[in-house]
Amino acid sequence: MIKHYKIQYGPQTITLDIDSSRVSFILQPGEMPIVETRQELYRALAVPIGAKPLRDIVKTGDRVVIMGDDATRLTPTKEIIPIILDELNAGGVPDKDLELIIATGTHRAMTEEELEDKYGSGVTNRIKVTNHDCLNTDNLVPCGTTSRGTDIWINKTVMEADVAIGVGNILPHHPTGWSGGAKILLPGVAGEHSVGQMHLLGATEQQLGKIDTPCREEMEDFAHETGLDFIVNTVLDREGNVVRIVAGHFIEAHREGIQWGQKVFGVPFKEKTDITLSSSFPCDHDLFQATKGLFSTVHCTKQGGEVILISPCTEGVSPTHPETVELAKLSDHELLALAADPESGHDVLSITAALYLNSSKRAVNVTLVTEGIPKETVEKLGFRHLRPSDLAEYLTFRLAEDPNATLGIVHNSAEVVPLQE
């Protein structure tokens, strides 16, 4: 029977007519009861995990930095941050001693319009707000080296603060396993080289959905060294509604958040498919974000099968890591040699991204459906390129080419951990 299947391409929807007998699974984040954000935040702040209440951590005279995520994340910061500010005020810290730093990592800076949309005038007009700049050596300070060899360079304002608070969201993430927790510090407000070294730790093995990963251990060692006093992390459903908020110690609270995240994002399936349609929405600003939907669907696609990654990539491959395109043609051996050579002049995070892509390309063939990246660039990456208008015809051809080929569909693929039963 032919059925209509809708799949998200950015804010648009593509409708595909497919014989339902060919569709083995449709995966998407699970449904959980949603909660009212403010009430849930007050609950979490009243019973922090592994830490004293926020207002008891600070005192009059303290300088407090709040690190919040950028426009690539759906954390409802517009509602969360004002309540945190009120709690800090109640602890004796006036607004003039509070600062919000956007933990961009190596992403581009948020624009004023984006800040207004994500944080609101209730925050931007109340306290100082600045974008972290991983390249600004004048506002980065060295703090030694971790046991795994990562050089610790961190935002100077964060280091000089008496109290540091992280606000973020918990999602499945390659290579850290899960986002949230100490990730707001590294890569959030670290120097570019530190970020690259950390990501390199997870470049040779699939880490999505795991809890104890080399990157997670490095982030938490980094946080122990530099200081992260309190976190507030959300768990959202696929519509962006709050399911749970955890607050407190950056490890203990984070682990409880992961337990809730596993209920939402851990999705079972029975058999791997020959072809998997993967919509990365809403992680589709650029290919760096969209490839999270590739890393996840490798789990549910047969070796040598095909992942069709669907994402507009409106900002191209990456505004800050364009070098990835040229590096993508190199072997793992060549890439690791560049990463080990301090004189190579190459961006370590771009090297790491190329290693991630190599790992995926060894497992599956990749077709990228996008208008944001030119065909020649997509082909340099080792992918096939399709325009959204060509997807239906291409899929019909592929299914006719192999009458036994099975098809899987994954919605919100950048936020899913496929779990084979």
Least Cα distance to 58 among 99, 91, 94 occurs for: 91
Question: 216: which 2 tokens?
Answer: 């997670």
Query: Looking at residue 203, what is its pLDDT?
Result: 73
Per the CB < 8 A criterion, the answer to whether 28 and 238 are in contact is yes
- In angstroms, rounded to a whole number, what is the distance separating the alpha carbons of residues 395 and 306? 11
- In angstroms, rounded to a whole number, what is the distance separating the alpha carbons of residues 216 and 208? 11
Q: How far is CA 47 from CA 89, 245, 247, 409, 420, in A?
A: 19, 11, 8, 40, 36
Query: Looking at residue 234, what is its pLDDT?
Result: 98
Q: Which residues is 81 bridged to in the sheet?
A: none
Cβ neighbours of residue 111 closer than 8 Å, sequence gap 6 or more: none
pTM of the entire predicted model? 0.85
Give, for all 421 residues of the chain, the pLDDT tens digit.
Answer: 899 999 999 999 999 999 999 999 999 999 899 999 999 999 999 999 999 999 999 999 999 999 999 988 889 999 999 999 999 999 999 999 999 999 998 888 999 999 999 999 999 999 999 999 999 989 999 988 888 888 889 999 999 999 999 999 999 988 889 999 999 999 999 998 888 888 888 776 778 889 999 889 999 998 998 899 999 999 999 889 999 999 999 999 999 999 999 999 999 999 999 999 999 999 888 998 899 999 999 999 999 999 999 999 999 999 888 899 999 999 999 998 998 887 888 888 889 889 989 999 999 999 999 999 999 999 999 999 999 999 999 999 999 999 999 999 999 999 899 999 8
Task: Give the residue extent of every domain in the chain.
Answer: 2-28+270-420, 37-264
Query: Looking at residue 26, what is its pLDDT?
Result: 97
Per the CB < 8 A criterion, the answer to whether 360 and 298 are in contact is yes
Query: Looking at residue 204, what is its pLDDT?
Result: 65
By three-state DSSP, how is residue 386 classified?
A: strand
Per the CB < 8 A criterion, the answer to whether 295 and 287 are in contact is no
Query: Looking at residue 340, what is its pLDDT?
Result: 84
Query: Looking at residue 339, what is its pLDDT?
Result: 86
Q: How far is CA 175 from CA 114, 218, 230, 317, in A?
A: 27, 12, 23, 18
Phi then psi for 213, rounded to 5 degrees? -120, 160
Per the CB < 8 A criterion, the answer to whether 280 and 290 are in contact is yes
Domain 2-28+270-420 annotated CATH 3.40.50.2000: no
Least Cα distance to 232 among 187, 186, 190, 181 occurs for: 181
Q: 225: part of which helix (H) or strand (E)?
A: helix 214-226
Write b or e for each residue in 114-129: b if 16 or more Cβ atoms lie within 10 A of its Cβ, otherwise e.
Answer: ebeebbbeebbebbeb
CA dihedral 48, 49, 50, 51 (to 10 degrees): -10
By three-state DSSP, how is residue 388 classified?
A: helix
Q: Which residues is 269 bridged to in the sheet?
A: 420
| Helix runs in 309-402, H state only | 324-327, 332-340, 348-363, 375-380, 391-401
DSSP letter at 185 equals T
CATH code of the domain made up of 37-264: 3.40.50.11440
CA dihedral 119, 125, 131, 132 (to 10 degrees): -100
